[in-house]
Structure 1
Amino acid sequence: MSYTDLSRLLCTLATVKRRVTPVLRSLAFHMARQSDRLPPKQLSNVLYAMNSLSFPDPLLLEKIANDFVSQGNAIDKPTVVGGILTCMGQMRWRNTSMLEILSEWVENHVNICRTSDIAAMVLTLASVSYTPTNIDSLFKAIIPKLTSVTINRETAWLDVVWSLSVLGKATEEHIASVLNPSFVSKIPSAAQHQRTGIKLKLLNINAVARLSMPAYKGPFLDLSDFKDVIITQGRHELMLAKHVQTMLHNFLPPPKYIRENIQTNMGIFVDAELSVGKNGKPIPIEDFTTNFGEKESSKQLPEGAQKLAMFIWDYRDYTIGSQELTGINRLAMELVRKHDYKIVQIPYYEYNMKAKTIKNVQYLESKTKEAVSTS
């Protein structure tokens, strides 16, 4: 079968929602080996199929990227750009070469782009936490096109403002438009499965306004209305976090020396909180915690002591096939740092659940000391 025929078969499987893994692997293998190239429109269709089938085959993605980059000048339709950007964001695919070409194309053709295409640009850059080289000129061109009037669906506008907040490009007007009580009151009308995500984004934006925008004079959320928001973890994430926490208990007995599974009013989840004295030895966190800005600590932190926030990163916390964290996770660390915490990161690709206890305890101790000395 030709490259074109193989791609059409993949798209057909996506249309009929047939995720037959052996067939998909075979298709991806043969498509990745083709020497010819698909045009941008067909590449967009293939990417859409891979996204629909949750099948981000790394070799095929590399082939798509190579095909696309070599034809960057051949793009003539904003719908193709918008489609590719949307798939990249939803798949968490951080191909910097493609993002550079797409960013430049959107900037140069902003007047023929639909609002949805421009929004897809912002959402994808935030999702994969990427700053293109033309970020300043790009946003100067596209920000005027993105308003609550041009994007009249509340959830879509919230997504745009949240993405701008992640990228550090949100203005006071953007923030105020979604923290306004009249906007917040429309949340209950959203579909049930959307409500938690919407509330978490509002809490993220509220935290950005409080911690990163000292000149902000607009409204803030009434946090008492958000007490029911719970961030849940997947099975694999829970297994990893539980294993790490069990190892931590060998030198940080809870609850005196460590707090775990913390739901914050910033809409982010912290796996563990601890504190160390100036000599690097653990000290009781229960005396010094503010629960990340929710209350006053019962005691003043001793001179030279530091509070640490630990994030345990599962593979879903990264963009696919890379060691680059997604936008929400980078935002989480940024917000926690604003509360004077040092960050301890435990990535899944470093931590071995099958290793001996002594090895894992030594690794965690070294990561804690490293965070204190380098931050």
Structure 2
Amino acid sequence: MSLLRSLYTLQLRENSRCLRSVEQEVRWRLRRVKYKNLVFLAETSIPYMQEQASKELLTELLMYLERRWTEIDDCRTVVTLMTKVGHLSEPLMGRLEDKFLELAEQFGPEDLRRVMLTLASQNRRSVPLLRAISYHLAQKPFTLTRGMLIDFAYAYGKLNFHQTQIFQKLAAELLPQVSSMTPSDITQCSKSFAFLKWLNLPLFEAFAQHMLNKADSFTPLQLSNMILAFARLNFHPEQEEQFFSLVHKKLEPELANLSPILQVDVVWSLCVLQQVQEAQLQGVLCQEFHKQFLDSKFPQNQNICQKLVHINATAQLEHPKYIGPYLPLATCQQAFRLQTSTSRKMTPMQKDLQDIMKGWLGSEDKVRFGETTQYGWELDAELVLDVENQPLPMKNFIAPHLAQPTGTQPLPPGAKRLAFLRWEFPNFNSRSKDLLGRFVMARRHLQAAGLLVVDVPYYEWLELKSEWQKGAYLKDKMGKTVAEDLAK
């Protein structure tokens, strides 16, 4: 086996008689060697086998590793095989996971880190393993280095596995080390916690302060990724004005050099945080820029087109001095068609809300469900109330806010248009009642468009048991929204 490894290292040709002879000899002896020799061969030679097209030897090696997995008796072997071989054999990876759970008590922090990174690299969300790793990280007095903390945060974020106790531990141990972290470390941590929807205010304030102190060491790409993370969590630093002044100063000469998709993401994120500038709006709303997304058929274009519509809405609703350009109506309608063509399945809460409103109103003429606005946001339900706060049949009323405007009659004097928005568990930061940035922007846009927004959060809705309670709840929320509007 050592000879075979040496021949692979020498990069002999595939048809070398010497190489093929040694490979054949190894194949004959695989059944009789100890398991640690199989692991040695896997660890040192599998990449070369793949390059040398040694498929028969590789197939037999994987077969014997899988059949004799019960011979594994140490942590290093588990980690090595997961890292080197796991992606090549699904049955073997399953056996290794079982063996990991059996030997979990013996794993140290470095072993746990390697297992987590292996799972993340294979995008393998094995819940039993992740729970076991989380338990040992939380219960044992491990000393975690900064690199370990960053890698654990990355792996949890990549696998989208939520474990509050671990996140608190990672944030608490990272906080004192922020001042000595590199820009790359800061960027990776902020992205990881953003993926997890975990906003630890002291930690993110430290990230923002570190960026202010060492702005020159951050590349435009790193700075852009931090803005994306802040926008996802709707995080506004305490020194917001100073922070974003520096951001604009650094990004202004470099924004056009970023990839087009990243340009859209950055400008959209600045819209979420209410920090976008008119020049940035003009840069992505001009036809020369946005036509590259609408004229091509890449899968990610649907998301980018939606963000362009949101940016367009920000320009229309929140920047009265902005003079253009705007997205053409045909462009917006194309983006809406993309959005509609992949509409998601109705959730139980959404269905429940519609059923309650139909029963309460007694007529579907007085409500619209699931309509998309020209601002790129979907309304769960929409009502028009008269001066006495009674729902009106709305079919013939003008609805200029919809993606496909309808009706011909203006609203009666004193009438109000209400939009019901349900907020489900994924719409919030983890362990919080604070909405994620994109949904905060959705509320803001609809309110700026003249609609009264009635929020229906999941944590209030789930406490209601009967249909009568849910109907009374919706009426009460509607009444409070109207009263707040009158008070203004």
TM range (shorter): over 0.9
**Aligned mates of 1:277, 1:69 — CA distance in 2:** 54
1:346-357 → structure 2 map (5 Å cutoff): 346-352=456-462, 355-357=465-467
In the TM superposition, what is the alpha-carbon distance from 1:356 to its structure 2 partner? 1.7
Q: Supply the distance in 1 between the matched residues of 2:459 and 2:452 (Cα, whole angstroms).
A: 21
Q: Provide the secondary structure at the position in 2 that maps to 1:310.
A: strand
Q: Match of 2:383?
A: 274
Residue aligning to 1:197: 303
**1:297, distance to aligned residue in structure 2 (A):** 5.8
Is the deviation greater in 193-202 or in 40-49?
Answer: 40-49
Tell me how far apart the structure 2 counterparts of residues 138 and 286 of structure 1 sit (CA, whole Å): 48
| 1:311–1:344 contact (8 Å) kept in structure 2 | yes
Contact 1:241 1:312 in 2 (8 A): yes
SS of the residue corresponding to residue 383 of structure 2 reads strand
Q: 1:330 aligns with which of 421, 440, 458?
A: 440
Give the distance between the partners of 1:325 and 1:127, measured in 2 at CA: 10
Equivalences for residues 82-93 of structure 1 within 5 A? 82-93=187-198
1:322 positional shift: 1.6
Q: CA deviation at 1:303?
A: 3.9
Q: What residue in structure 2 maps to residue 39 of structure 1? A: 145
Alpha-carbon distance in 1 for matches of 2:433, 2:221? 29
Deviations 1:163-195 (A, max 9, x none): 111111111100000001000111147663211
Does the 8 Å contact 1:230/1:263 carry over to 2? no
Taking structure 2 as the reference length, the TM-score comes to: 0.72
Partner of 1:13: 119
Counting helix residues as a fraction of each chain, which structure ranks higher? 2
2:360: which partner in 1?
251
AA in 2 matched with 1:58: T
Question: In 2, Cα distance between the equivalents of 1:29 and 1:162?
Answer: 38
Q: Which one is further off, 156-165 or 55-64?
A: 55-64
Residue type of the alignment partner of 1:216: Y
* Corresponding residue number in structure 2 for 1:120: 225
1:178 pairs, out of 279, 284, 302, with: 284
Provide the rounded CA distance (Å) in 2 between the counterparts of 1:43 and 1:178: 37
For 2:133 and 2:271, the matched residues in 1 are separated by: 39
Select the residue among 189, 195, 207 that pairs with 2:313. Answer: 207
Q: Please give the per-residue CA displacement for 1:196-227, whole angstroms capped at 9, x wherever unaligned.
A: 10110010011111111111122111121232
Deviation at 1:317, TM superposition (A): 1.1
Q: What corresponds to 2:90 in structure 1?
A: none
Within 2, Cα distance between the matches of 1:293 and 1:191? 25
For this pair of structures, how many residues does the alignment match? Answer: 373
- Residue equivalent to 1:290: 399
Unaligned runs of 5+ in 2: 1-106
In 2, Cα distance between the equivalents of 1:127 and 1:260? 27
Q: Is 1:11–1:45's contact at 8 Å kept on the other side of the alignment?
A: yes
Q: 2 CA distance for matches of 1:296 and 1:12?
A: 53
Q: Which amino acid aligns with 1:331?
A: M
1:368 to 461, 478, 481: 478
Distance 1:42 1:142 in 2: 29
**Offset at 1:73?**
2.9
Indicate how the Cα distance of structure 1 residues 233 and 314 shifts in structure 2: closer, same or farther if over 3 A, else same: farther
- Tell me the CA shift for residue 266 of structure 1: 1.0
Q: Which residue of 2 aligns with 1:159?
A: 265
State, as a whole percentage, how many aligned pairs show the same letter.
Answer: 25
CA distance in 1, matches of 2:259, 2:322: 25
State the alpha-carbon separation in 2 of the partners of residues 106 and 40 from structure 1.
Answer: 18
1:259–1:273 contact (8 Å) kept in structure 2: yes
How far is the alpha carbon of 1:118 from its aligned partner? Answer: 0.6
8 Å contact from structure 1 (residues 122, 164) kept in 2: yes
Q: 2:416 aligns with which of 291, 306, 317?
A: 306
Aligned runs of 1:64-103 on 2, under 5 Å?
Answer: 64-75=170-181, 77-103=182-208
What is the CA distance between 1:254 and its match in structure 2?
4.6
Contact 1:86 1:124 survives alignment (8 Å):
yes
CA contact (8 A) 1:29 1:59 kept: no
CA distance in 1, matches of 2:306, 2:363: 28
Which protein shows a greater Rg? 2
Please name the residue that 2:102 is paired with: none
Within 1, Cα distance between the matches of 2:286 and 2:249? 21
- Check 1:264–1:213 CA distance in 2 against 1; reply closer, same or farther (3 A cut): same
Q: Secondary structure at the match of 2:388?
A: coil
Aligned match of 2:427: 317
Q: 2:134 and 2:398 mapped to 1: Cα distance?
A: 51
Which deviates more, 172-181 or 287-296?
Answer: 287-296
Relative to structure 1, the CA distance from residue 41 to residue 164 in structure 2 (aligned partners, 3 Å threshold; closer, same or farther) is: same
Range with greater deviation from structure 2 (291-300 or 149-158):
291-300
Instruction: Return closer, same or farther for 1:285/1:168 CA change in 2, 3 Å cut-off.
Output: same
Q: Post-superposition shift, 1:360?
A: 1.4
CA 1:291/1:188 → structure 2, altered by over 3 Å: closer, same or farther? closer
For the 8 Å contact 1:273–1:285, the answer to whether it is kept is no
The answer to which of 282-291 and 339-348 deviates more is 282-291
Partner of residue 129, structure 1: 234
Q: CA deviation at 1:4?
A: 4.2
Alpha-carbon separation, structure 1, partners of 2:309 and 2:429: 23
Contact 2:149 2:174 in 1 (8 A): yes
Q: TM-score, normalised by structure 1?
A: 0.92
One-letter amino acid of the structure 2 residue matched with residue 192 of structure 1: F
Q: Indicate conservation of the 8 Å contact 2:150/2:189, yes or no.
A: yes
SS at match of 1:262: strand
Unaligned runs of 5+ in 1: none
* Whole-angstrom CA distance in 1 between matches of 2:363 and 2:247: 49
Find the counterpart in structure 2 of residue 141 from structure 1.
Answer: 246
Q: Distance in 2 between matches of 1:290 and 1:16?
A: 48
